[in-house]
């Protein structure tokens, strides 16, 4: 029985809890991608770098707050800085839209043109981030590291395995839940939110109904700024901030959005968790769990890791391809084929 409990704890500690946190971060990222796809109708390659920019802005504000002696008790200071980071990113995105995207929207350019334009934006944002904060690792998490650490857990329960819950994990889950709840409340209950869904559903009819497209687009960018910055800051708190890592997040985020069905917010959330758990499950060394479950003489000698962690992209990719082959509109019905 204790063995079984130990196995469960080990599983939670190394797979379930980190997977849930990562899933929440991907889900927030994928929501941003899916909203842009639904409203502006293109795949935004600059999304990873938007997340990086938002995180950078938040980090700079965090440093500013710390230098004047403001902190947030056992929570990271970055949480106070987050709204300001979101505001700065929102301004940047609105500016980008005004200066760049709007021109192509007026021309009714093909989606692929907008994708290429977003690649240009990606370059500029990436350069901007590198220029301002550099390419190195930035660790900006402060406050208490653990809500409950492994040693305390062991003492409390008397088990051999510890369950450590990091503050950042808890913050990630709580913040993501709040953000998603707010988003869905906004989309389903407010006039502006409904007009966004209407615009995403049927642009021409939305125009006939008197919905102002420019306003819908502006609101979308602001929401995307909030989602991207939040996702980026949570990811950065959980791991660390590095410009290039954020660019690489593009692949699992797109995979999550497509697996869930592009343009479908619920799907984006589901997709985020599907991708995150598959990555963690397949790249986890199962030995730690199996030693408790197997009889002694059958205990595995190796790590029992299906794929090395370096192949985590391969996992999102494989899921993506499977979905594209068998259900191109995603698990939840998306907009495109």
Partner 1 sequence: MAEPHLIGEAMTGGYGRGADILHGCTLSVDKGEIAVIVGPNGAGKSTAMKAVFGMLNLREGAVRIGGEDITHLSPQDRVAKGMAFVPQTSNIFPSMTVEENLEMGAFLRRDDIRPTIEQVYDLFPILRDKRRQAAGELSGGQRQQVAVGRALMTQPSVLMLDEPTAGVSPIVMDELFDRIIEVARAGITILMVEQNARQALEIADKGYVLVQGANAYTGTGAELMADDEVRRTFLGG
Partner 2 sequence: MTARGFLLYAGMALLIVLTGMFQGWNLALTILNMGLISAIMSLGVNLQWGFAGLFNVGVMGFVALGGLAAVLVAQPPVAEGWNAGGLRLLGALALGAAILVGAVQVWKRKIGGRMRALVMLALLIGGFFLFRASLDPAVDAIEAINPSLSGYLGGLGLPIIVAWPVGGLLAAGAAWIIGKAALGLRSDYLAIATLGIAEIVIAVLKNEDWLSRGVKNVVGLPRPVPYEVDLQRDEGFIATAAGYGLDPVTASTLWVKILYSGLFAVVLIVILFLAQRALASPWGRMMRAIRDNEVAASAMGKNVTARHLQVFILGSAVCGIAGAMMTTLDGQLTPGSYQPLRFTFLVWVMVIVGGSGNNYGAVLGGFLIWWLWVMVEPLGLWAMELITSGMDADSWLRGHLTDSAAQMRLMTMGIILLAVLRFSPKGLMPER
Which residues form the interface with partner 1 (CB under 8 A)?
191, 194-195, 197-198, 200-202, 204-211
Residue nearer to partner 2 on the CB measure, 24 or 250: 250
Given partner 2, partner 1, none, residue 337, with its beta carbon under 5 to 8 Å by kind, binds partner 2
Contacts with partner 2, 230-259, as mask; x by CB under 8 A: --------------x--xx-xx--xx--x-
Contacts with partner 2, 26-55, as mask; x by CB under 8 A: ----------------xx-x----------
- Cα distance between residue 245 and residue 230, in whole Å: 16
Residue nearer to partner 2 on the CB measure, 296 or 310: 310
Residue nearer to partner 1 on the CB measure, 191 or 297: 191
H or E segment to which residue 124 belongs = helix 111-133
Residue nearer to partner 1 on the CB measure, 106 or 191: 191
Given partner 1, partner 2, none, residue 328, with its beta carbon under 5 to 8 Å by kind, binds partner 2
H or E segment to which residue 147 belongs = strand 146-148
Distances (CA, A) of 335 to 20, 159, 200, 330: 27, 49, 9, 9
Any contact of residue 70 with partner 2 (CB under 8 A)? no
Residue nearer to partner 1 on the CB measure, 204 or 296: 204
User: Which phi and psi angles does 165 have, rounded to 5°?
Assistant: -110, 115
Which of 241, 239, 267 lies closest to 254 in space, CA to CA?
267
Q: Which two tokens stand for residue 204?
A: 């021409």
Report CA Rg, the chain. Answer: 21
Residue nearer to partner 2 on the CB measure, 207 or 306: 306
CA 82, 87, 88, 93 dihedral sign is: positive
Whose tokens are 């963690």? That residue is 280
State the CB neighbour count (10 A cutoff) for residue 238: 19
Any contact of residue 211 with partner 2 (CB under 8 A)? no
Q: Which two tokens stand for residue 94?
A: 């609105």
Q: Are strands 165-166 and 146-148 parallel, antiparallel or unpaired?
A: antiparallel
Distances (CA, A) of 38 to 124, 196, 198, 217: 24, 9, 10, 11
Positions 255 through 284 that interact with partner 2 (CB under 8 A): 255, 258, 262
Any contact of residue 337 with partner 2 (CB under 8 A)? yes
Given partner 2, partner 1, none, residue 69, with its beta carbon under 5 to 8 Å by kind, binds none
Burial class from Cβ neighbours inside 10 Å (0-12, 13-18, 19+) for residue 35 reads buried
Given partner 1, partner 2, none, residue 31, with its beta carbon under 5 to 8 Å by kind, binds none
Contacts with partner 2, 134-163, as mask; x by CB under 8 A: xx----------------------------
Q: Are 65 and 81 in contact (CB under 8 A)?
A: yes
Given partner 1, partner 2, none, residue 327, with its beta carbon under 5 to 8 Å by kind, binds none
Any contact of residue 132 with partner 2 (CB under 8 A)? yes
Whose tokens are 């230098």? That residue is 67
Binding interface with partner 2 (CB under 8 A): 42-43, 45, 100, 103, 111-113, 115-117, 119-128, 130-132, 134-135, 244, 247-248, 250-251, 254-255, 258, 262, 302, 306, 308, 310-311, 313-314, 316-317, 320-321, 324-325, 328, 336-337
């Amino acid at each position: 029985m204790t063995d079984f409990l130990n196995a469960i704890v080990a599983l939670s500690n190394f797979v379930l809890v980190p997977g849930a946190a990562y899933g929440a971060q991907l889900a927030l990222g994928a929501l941003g991608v899916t909203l842009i796809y639904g409203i502006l109708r293109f795949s935004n390659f600059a999304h990873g770098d938007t997340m990086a920019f938002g995180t950078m802005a938040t980090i700079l504000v965090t440093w500013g707050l710390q230098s004047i002696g403001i902190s947030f008790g056992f929570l990271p200071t970055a949480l106070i800085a987050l709204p300001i980071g979101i505001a700065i990113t929102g301004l940047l995105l609105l500016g980008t839209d005004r200066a760049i995207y709007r021109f192509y929207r007026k021309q009714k350019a093909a989606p692929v043109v907008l994708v290429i334009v977003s690649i240009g934006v990606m370059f500029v944002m990436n350069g901007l981030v590198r220029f301002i904060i550099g390419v190195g690792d930035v660790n900006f998490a402060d406050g208490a590291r653990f809500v409950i650490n492994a040693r305390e857990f062991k003492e409390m329960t008397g088990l051999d395995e510890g369950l450590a819950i990091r503050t950042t994990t808890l913050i990630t889950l709580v913040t993501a839940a709040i953000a998603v709840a707010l988003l869905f409340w906004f989309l389903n209950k407010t006039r502006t939110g409904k007009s966004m869904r209407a615009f995403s559903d049927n642009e021409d009819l939305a125009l006939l109904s008197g919905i102002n497209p420019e306003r819908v687009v502006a609101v979308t960018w602001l929401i995307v700024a909030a989602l991207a910055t939040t996702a980026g800051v949570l990811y950065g708190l959980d791991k660390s901030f590095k410009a290039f890592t954020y660019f690489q997040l593009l692949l699992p985020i797109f995979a999550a959005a497509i697996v869930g069905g592009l343009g479908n917010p619920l799907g984006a959330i589901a997709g985020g968790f599907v991708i995150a758990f598959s990555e963690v499950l397949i790249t986890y060394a199962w030995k730690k769990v199996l030693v408790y479950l197997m009889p002694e003489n059958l205990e595995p000698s190796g790590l029992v890791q299906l794929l090395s962690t370096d192949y985590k992209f391969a996992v999102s990719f494989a899921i993506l391809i499977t979905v594209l082959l068998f259900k191109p509109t995603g698990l939840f019905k998306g907009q495109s084929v």
